[in-house]
Structure 1
Amino acid sequence: MRLNHDYVRDILLFIEKDLDYKDSSNPNYRNELPFGQLLVSDKFSKYNKEELTYALELLTKEGFIDCAKNPYFVRGSLMQADIIGLTWSGHQLLDNIRNDTVWNAVKEKSKKFGKFSLNTLATCAGQLTIALMSNPNAVQNFFDGVNNIGNMV
C-alpha cells in the first residue's frame, strides 16, 4: 500500500491539537483517543480509510505516536491503541513538516524528481524552514535551485 504523506502530516497535526491534559491539577492524566475514533473523526471523513489506517499503523509502529499502553497488532494490523499524544520523535517530524508553505513547496518540487521518503521530505522541509529564518526569499530560492538542478539532469 502507498503511504500518503499528507495523511501522516494531518494525523500528527490532529493528535497534537486535540490531545492534551484534561485536568491541570493532575498532570498525569491525559486525554486518550482510541485509534478507531480518530479514523471516524469528522476531520478525516473524506479520507480514504485504508490509507488513513495504514498511515496511523506506521506512525504507531515507528514510535511517532504515544499510547497509554502498548498498541495491539494482529499480523501487522493495528487492532487497539489508546493514543495520548506524540512522542519526542513525533514532535520532531511534525515540526519539520508543519509550515504549510514549506510543506507544499517541498511536495511540489519532489514531484519533479519522483517519490521520496517521508524522512527525506521532512529533512528538506526542516532545512528550508531554517533558511526561512534568515532569508524571506528562501522558498523562491528553493524553487529556482530545484529548477536549475532539473535543467542540469
Structure 2
Amino acid sequence: MKLKHDCVRYVLLSLEAQGIGMLQGVQLSQILPKLVNDQYSEDDITYTFLQLLDGGYINANYEKYVSGFSLIVFDITWKGHELLDSIRDDEVWKQTKKATSTLKSVSIGVLKNVASAVLTGIIKQKTGLPL
C-alpha cells in the first residue's frame, strides 16, 4: 500500500485538533469513523496510523493477533509535532507539494525538509530577516 502524504497531514492535523488519547489512549476503531471521508478510506487511514507509529511520529500501543490487531493511540510525539509544524500552513503545504510533484518518490524526511525550506523562504520574504 502507498503512504499518501496528504493523508499523513490530515491524520496529524486531526489528532492535534481532537486532542486524542493523552493518558488513557483511544482505540483506532473509535477514531476511524471520525476520520474516514470521501478522500481517505478506512484502509488509507489505518495504514497511515501504522506508518506514523513505525516512524516515531505518534505514541501508540500496537498488538497483533491472529484475527487482526489493536492500536491504542495516545498522542503525537515531538518528532510528529516537528513534521506537523513544518507542513501545517496551507500555503507551505501547497508549495511543498508543487516542489516535489515531479518526483516519483519522496520520503517523509525529504518532505519535511522541503517544507521547512519553503517556510524559511516565506518568512524571509515577509520579514526580510536573513535566515
TM-score between both structures, scaled by the size of structure 2 = 0.82
C-alpha distance in 1 between matches for 2:51 and 2:64: 11
Shift of 1:31: 6.0
The superposition leaves residues 69-97 of structure 1 with CA deviations (integer Å, 9 ceiling, x where unpaired) of x321358xx72122121011111111111
The superposition leaves residues 94-120 of structure 1 with CA deviations (integer Å, 9 ceiling, x where unpaired) of 111111111111112311233311211
Where in structure 1 are there 5+ consecutive unaligned residues? 22-28, 138-153
Secondary structure of residue in 2 paired with 1:11: helix
User: Counterpart in 2 of 1:96?
Assistant: 86
Secondary structure of residue in 2 paired with 1:122: helix
Count of residues in correspondence between the two structures: 125
1:100-119 alignment to 2 at 5 Å? 100-119=90-109
Pick the structure with greater CA Rg.
1
User: Counterpart in 2 of 1:26?
Assistant: none
User: Counterpart in 1 of 2:37?
Assistant: 45
C-alpha distance in 1 between matches for 2:33 and 2:20: 19
Larger relative CO (CA 8 A, sep 6+): 1 or 2? 2
User: Counterpart in 2 of 1:7?
Assistant: 7
Where in structure 2 are there 5+ consecutive unaligned residues? none
User: Counterpart in 2 of 1:73?
Assistant: 64
The question of whether the paired residues in 2 share the 8 Å contact of 1:96 and 1:122 is answered with: yes
Shift of 1:38: 1.8
Shift of 1:20: 6.0
Q: 1:107 to 1:71 in 2, by over 3 A?
A: same
User: Counterpart in 2 of 1:150?
Assistant: none
Identity of counterpart residues, as a percentage? 27
Aligned counterpart for 1:60 among listed residues 36, 53, 60? 53
The question of whether the paired residues in 2 share the 8 Å contact of 1:20 and 1:30 is answered with: no
C-alpha distance in 2 between matches for 1:93 and 1:83: 18
The question of whether the paired residues in 2 share the 8 Å contact of 1:35 and 1:83 is answered with: yes
User: Counterpart in 1 of 2:112?
Assistant: 122
C-alpha distance in 2 between matches for 1:80 and 1:20: 16
